Structure 1
């Protein structure tokens, strides 16, 4: 394969042109902060699992549903809500989402029964449904294309940092003030950030494609843009592989505080803090793996897929070793190393999706990725592990879990076989589209 195939031109319109770098980082910081709030509200539940389980006499399956209902709603609603966000404005939509999930988290704090808590968690899921996809589309829009994997992995690491803070702070608040204050603290943080976001981030400054330019494009061209979301085998495989890998990472994030409580005899606050440290290692791994992906894949796009495969397999080996060990320091170290690698696929997956889909539909493309991540991973993982835990125990369920990473690696390998060809074809189509727009503008006598 010739060298020219490895250095295909960048795709679509660079929406970061003209945006001051300082403003871009302000947008990133605030959008990142709201993502942290998103996951703090989502994962604080994990830290208080033992307390709610005892107070309401719940099974692990019921606890798994409290966690999984959020990811389930994210999976169901992320695509339609992302499309609405593109239509009505990303900044306004992100703000409304944050207000809703924060108020719903406050509802968890005052829940009087399992059914009330389940409904409040349902609303948390509705509020969080499209935040990841719309938020990452905003971040990608204000920075140059060659930073995609780094920014995507750093942004998605916000979810892990949020999980870290949610479990650590939630565990401490629950131990000293009761589990209701754990939810209340997360809700207040989200509402404060939601009030600041629209003041500093403006729709007209986030690098969206001008409406005048979109109006010049023919309806058939717009259909072709939307079709890029599912038109190649490699992008479909990327959705599936990313979701399967998050089955593993999501299950550990949800159930590890309970694991520490049951097998290490830790109190709620200590289990929450230690589980949060384990989760933090995966956040660091997500960022570093994304940076490595950008550096090694700059001139060889297929290396992104190779690295994703490596992250899956290394994570599988490390976590399999970890849960074959007895409770102790060695096991905790291996779990931390396994999680460091397991979520490293976030950066490559997001970069691959961005490179294979049109700029105009990136919110919808990332919504599709989010749908797969939640249905196959963040929702299915905790539910399945909860069911297995009721039958064979949580430790044995964790021993089975890493095998899913092998399946994820196999799907990434399938994507690798088609990735370069699909990227080349997409770039050619994007070039033809741009030429058609230029020709149309030249006929009307208007400048480009």
Structure 2
């Protein structure tokens, strides 16, 4: 087979297949990568969130307290937060596909271990290993996807990929609950484990680091590669510009709101509207799906608007953050009723809309050789400043001011996100120039 022809298209270098190559296969492979990597992300969150569906069964069978049940959930988020950056760095160094296969195997086997746990301690240990397997998957998996698509699709792909967390959470709870009622709680875990292992086998058979390298799209900045072939950027470039730091902070603070909604919206709906737990959870699940849809739509809109003017990524993120601040802030302040629910729905749609633009910003401001590590740093910020902090601090506020009062305070965190994003936008072009200057072979 003749070698591909390398040529420049806009701000990317692409390998054009020669006349004897198979262009249809080259177009198909990136979408295969996305589909399988996205499917594993669904498996990731289904394995993590299925626990919520079996809480009532565990509470009765093992006489667990709510604190003990909450510990089984929080230990996964804590493990992910602590290990995201070091394991992402390992993925950059060792090989991303090999890392993905290993990580998915670990969380799937740990989920199988949950199914046969004989007591609380064994289940807690299994949950720790689920966190170990999942810690770097979001960053390494996203880096794999972004490597084979052009730069102008980054916000769309990032938003769609991260939205898989919302969809996987809903699927895990819904399917896990149905299986627990029909066959017992252990089968809820077993089904998630089987799904994960099947996907691991498919991923290993169809995707390899060698194939990814053959389909890689090399990013250009100002018409030149950011490093020479085989070069690896220095790790200090992860924090070397004001804009990349602002992207980490702005994304994390905005996801504080999303984390609070994930954890407390069912309780809020139940208390405010007098709904039974199952009905409140059902409405909250619809809200989570709406949030996931918002991540996809906001990412696509960002790519559309920023295709020719890159700084618009920051502008759209600022708009999404402002929308969530206004609609959620006003919505939680209104009396209960249809008007409140409408405003809350709009606010929920935009609550995680910055996820796609933030991923694109960090990707543009860091070199491909350390991209998984950069996205792992973004994951760390999203978990520590956002998802974990949102649920915990909202609970503390609820103990002091009541849940309704706490939810009125939560949207104010978007002001901090706005400040960070405005700073990042101001220094974006200067930061890109600095990244170019610091990208050297080592």
Tell whether 2:36 aligns with 1:27.
no
Tell whether 2:73 aligns with 1:67.
yes
Cα 1:409–1:294 shift into 2, 3 Å? same
Quote the residue 2:349 is aligned against: 340
Q: Deviations over 1:74-123 (max 9, x none)?
A: 12111211222223221121112112212223344444555444333222
Tell whether 2:389 aligns with 1:380.
yes
In the alignment, the residues of structure 2 paired with residue 179 and residue 195 of structure 1 have an alpha-carbon distance, to the nearest angstrom, of: 26
Contact 1:16–1:207 under 8 Å retained in 2 = no
Tell whether 2:372 aligns with 1:366.
no
Over the aligned positions, Cα root-mean-square deviation in angstroms equals 3.2
Q: With a CA cutoff of 8 Å and minimum separation of 6, indicate the structure with the bigger relative contact order.
A: 1
Quote the residue 1:242 is aligned against: 251
Cα 1:291–1:362 shift into 2, 3 Å? same
Tell whether 2:207 aligns with 1:201.
yes
Alignment of 1:231-270 (within 5 A): 231-260=240-269, 264=273, 270=279
Alignment of 1:146-295 (within 5 A): 146-174=152-180, 177-207=183-213, 222=232, 224-260=233-269, 264=273, 270-295=279-304
Please give the TM-score of this superposition, normalised by the length of structure 1. 0.82
Q: Deviations over 1:396-416 (max 9, x none)?
A: 433322221221111111211
In the alignment, the residues of structure 2 paired with residue 409 and residue 429 of structure 1 have an alpha-carbon distance, to the nearest angstrom, of: 28
Unaligned stretches of 5+ residues in structure 2:
1-9, 18-24, 218-226
In the alignment, the residues of structure 2 paired with residue 135 and residue 286 of structure 1 have an alpha-carbon distance, to the nearest angstrom, of: 17
In the alignment, the residues of structure 2 paired with residue 45 and residue 370 of structure 1 have an alpha-carbon distance, to the nearest angstrom, of: 22
SS in 2 for 1:300: coil
Q: Deviations over 1:183-230 (max 9, x none)?
A: 3333332222122211111221113779xxxxx9699x64x4433211
Cα 1:179–1:321 shift into 2, 3 Å? farther
Cα 1:50–1:267 shift into 2, 3 Å? farther
In the alignment, the residues of structure 1 paired with residue 337 and residue 56 of structure 2 have an alpha-carbon distance, to the nearest angstrom, of: 21
Cα 1:318–1:167 shift into 2, 3 Å? farther
Number of aligned positions between the proteins: 416
SS in 2 for 1:245: helix
In the alignment, the residues of structure 1 paired with residue 184 and residue 244 of structure 2 have an alpha-carbon distance, to the nearest angstrom, of: 45
Aligned-pair CA distance for 1:390: 4.7
SS in 2 for 1:143: coil
Tell whether 2:137 aligns with 1:128.
no
Aligned-pair CA distance for 1:325: 4.3
In the alignment, the residues of structure 1 paired with residue 397 and residue 58 of structure 2 have an alpha-carbon distance, to the nearest angstrom, of: 20
Aligned-pair CA distance for 1:321: 3.1
Quote the residue 1:5 is aligned against: none
Alignment of 1:109-148 (within 5 A): 109-111=115-117, 114-148=120-154
In the alignment, the residues of structure 1 paired with residue 355 and residue 104 of structure 2 have an alpha-carbon distance, to the nearest angstrom, of: 23
Unaligned stretches of 5+ residues in structure 1:
1-8, 211-215, 438-448
Cα 1:319–1:170 shift into 2, 3 Å? farther
In the alignment, the residues of structure 2 paired with residue 93 and residue 133 of structure 1 have an alpha-carbon distance, to the nearest angstrom, of: 11
* 1:58 maps to which of 60, 65, 72: 65
Deviates more, 1:384-393 or 1:277-286: 384-393
Alignment of 1:284-363 (within 5 A): 284-325=293-334, 329-363=338-372
Quote the residue 2:4 is aligned against: none
In the alignment, the residues of structure 2 paired with residue 235 and residue 192 of structure 1 have an alpha-carbon distance, to the nearest angstrom, of: 37
